[in-house]
A and B are shown apart, each in its own frame.
Chain A
Amino acid sequence: MQGLVPTATDGNMATEFHNLQELRHSASLANKVFIQRDYSEGTTCKFQTKFPSELESRIERTLFEDTVKTLNNYYAEAEKIGGQSYLEGCLACATAYLIFLCMETRYEKVLKKIAKYIQEQNEKIYAPRGLLITDPIERGMRVIEISIYEDRGSSGSSSGSSSVSGSTAR
């Protein structure tokens, strides 16, 4: 697999598209699945782990649930209220919030980790199955958007083989 070209922050999609291009020359978007937020525990960021029916033929349930659970854990870590966040808050207040101009908040650090994780998941698991996860931050943290790509014409057979090789490589 070619190394991915890191593009601008909103270029996650572009990066993954380059990746897909290498796998299938004529991939086209067939459908999109949206994983909604789970508000049962309040306004903290958490996504539903319910397995959407459109993905049943594309990916194993456990893989999908693992991805969503890991993402939920990352977000819980970002929004965790505890000693460190209070310290950050009090320090910010004491400096009249000017410290936010030079310091990266913990939330932003975790968001970077999430972006990397999603990229890695796309590379290893989702792209070989013709799927693409969009980072929720690009959708206002409302949904996890999973794009389903279909092969066109002759590359249908290659999609079968590549998904097999993808699962064995796993």
Chain B
Amino acid sequence: MMKNCEYQQIDPRALSVSPSSAQNHLEKKEQRPRRKWEVFPGKNRFFCDGRIMLARQSGVLPLTLGLIVVTCGLFFAFDCPFLVEHLTIFIPVIGGMLFVFVVISLLRTSFTDPGILPRATPDEAADIEKQIDTSGSSTYRPPPRTKEILINQQVVKLKYCFTCKMFRPPRTSHCSLCDNCVERFDHHCPWVGNCVGKRNYRFFYSFIISLSFLTSFIFGCVITHITLRSQVVKSLVQAIQESPASVVELVICFFSIWSILGLSGFHTYLVASNLTTNEDIKGSWSSKRGAEESGNPYSYNSIITNCCVTLCGPMPPSLIDRRGFLPPDEAIPAASASEIELPLFAAKNDTHMCTQSTKDVLERMVNSSDFHGLCPPCTPKTTPLGPEVFSTPAPSSEPSPSTGCSQQHDRQPVAAPCPVFSRSSKRDSLHSINPAFRLASPSPSLSRASLILGDAPDIGFIPLS
């Protein structure tokens, strides 16, 4: 009711949406209020009405879960009875606790927002473009869009993300598999089916550490079981025949233990020096001097502090607000449309969840003016208002992101997930530079084809480890 009163107060010239169309929107909203996750531009999947999120390619997460569950199941069913009888009841208890911890950590790693940065609103993007234009040469755009800043007296280059239309904060990287910029990007892990970034790194670390303990524990117990059994039946072969499941567990554990222990060790080193896998592979800081600590501006130069900060630091909130409701059109003044959702809301009609772009915004204006067919007085005022506000972005960026979106589907066979557990990920990331090189092309506008060469080094941020 209050809203109706306000509509009469508001000068219709000041709004791009007419009262009658606003009422339409109101009815629409009452029918089905939309949440922000429904128009999220990245390649993520959402479940439970936005509470749970996963990368679009869940990778081998089911395999990971399956392996863990099956191995533990076999352990509890076939090894524990014997061990409880001959040793102690604590074996299944410890095993059970480890199993629960591993599964919870895994699920938290997979389902938590890794620290996705929402894309820049059109106004922000326009403002950044203006700044770049004024500072660079005016005849043509400088190819690599980078900005140098000083962090703790060290020069760090910030790169411009063409998909998200902003300068990436330090330690942020764009994951092509998820099509999102992720803060403190570590890597995209196919085993957990999600990126590992600022918000879920501690869960990932707990997962691999507890999994190391679990696999070592099961491995040890199975060996003990077979040894004891072969003492009882006086023959190793017979012992194995009596308990074939143990052999299966042995094989699985033996092969996983190397990779998982190796990964745990590697990540312990990263945590202690406050590095990410991304930085380590690219050698961002090690080229400075021998010791990474002196080169890395984020390190606290103390192993304990680094560990505490990375693992026990404050938990930052999710920036993408998946469960928030899309703001109704009538609440937004004039043609500001600064909310990220509005252009996407219109763009959804294109059956494509694209990043907001000038094209989307202009489309939205067109859609709004369709609504204005109902209210003639509004039309003459609002349609000029649209281009007025967006005159800055209009000439600068072309409707590339929509083509970018369609090309993203082409990316998928190119950027196939690589095995996690190997330092050969370094090779893989170099590989990924080449196919990912093509990834640079969708984001910039078609007129910026000359910039693609400059963007190639930009793409090294996707270690598909």
Show the binding face of A for B, using Cβ within 8 Å: 5, 7-11, 13-14, 17-18, 20-21, 25-29, 32, 34, 37, 39-43, 78-81, 85-86, 88-90, 92-93, 96-98, 100, 105-108, 111, 134, 137-143, 145, 147, 149, 152
Contact = CB atoms under 8 A, between A and B. Distances in A.
Nearest to B11: A26
Contact of A140 (B14, B108, B118): B118
Nearest to B385: A28
A41 B151 CA distance: 6
Nearest to A10: B324
Contact of B317 (A5, A26, A88, A137): A137
Interface of B: 2, 6, 9-11, 13-14, 100-101, 104-105, 108, 117-118, 120-121, 123-124, 127, 149-152, 156, 158, 166, 169-171, 183-184, 202-203, 206, 297-298, 308-309, 311-317, 319-321, 324-325, 327, 331-336, 338-339, 385, 389
Nearest to B311: A89
21 contacts: A9-B321, A13-B327, A17-B331, A21-B9, A26-B11, A26-B13, A29-B333, A32-B127, A41-B151, A42-B151, A42-B170, A43-B298, A88-B315, A89-B308, A97-B105, A97-B108, A105-B315, A138-B321, A139-B124, A140-B319, A152-B13
B170 A43 contact: yes
A27 B332 CA distance: 12
B334 A43 contact: no
Nearest to B123: A32
Contact of B331 (A11, A140, A145, A147): A11
B151 A79 contact: no
A43 B171 contact: yes
A81 B313 contact: yes
A139 B314 CA distance: 20
A29 to B, nearest CB: 4
Given A85-B314, A93-B202, 15 more contacts: A7-B331, A11-B331, A13-B327, A14-B331, A41-B151, A79-B316, A88-B312, A88-B314, A89-B202, A89-B313, A89-B315, A107-B314, A139-B121, A140-B117, A149-B333
A96 B106 CA distance: 11
Contacts of B158: 39
Sorted nearest first, the 9 A-B pairs with minimum C-beta distance are A89-B312, A14-B331, A26-B11, A140-B118, A96-B104, A29-B336, A140-B319, A29-B334, A28-B334
Contacts of A140: 117-118, 319-320
Contact of A41 (B152, B171, B203, B308): B152
A93 B311 CA distance: 9
Given A25-B11, A39-B149, A142-B117, A10 B321 contact: yes
Contact of A27 (B14, B166, B315): B14
Contact of A142 (B150, B151, B169): B169
Contacts, number: 155
B147 to A, nearest CB: 10
B314 A78 contact: yes
Contacts of B101: 96
A108 B321 CA distance: 13
A8 B184 CA distance: 30
A29 B338 CA distance: 11
A8 B150 CA distance: 38
Contacts of B100: 96
A17 B314 CA distance: 33
A96 B102 CA distance: 9
Contacts of A92: 315
Nearest to B103: A96
B171 to A, nearest CB: 6
B309 A43 contact: no
Find the residue from A7, A97, A100, A107 having the highest chain B CB count within 10 A.
A97
Contact of B338 (A18, A107, A108, A145): A145
Contact of B124 (A21, A34, A100): A34
B327 A25 contact: no
Contact of A8 (B13, B314, B325): B325
A13 B206 CA distance: 39
A86 B308 contact: yes
B389 A29 contact: yes
Contacts of B332: 13, 17
A77 B101 CA distance: 31
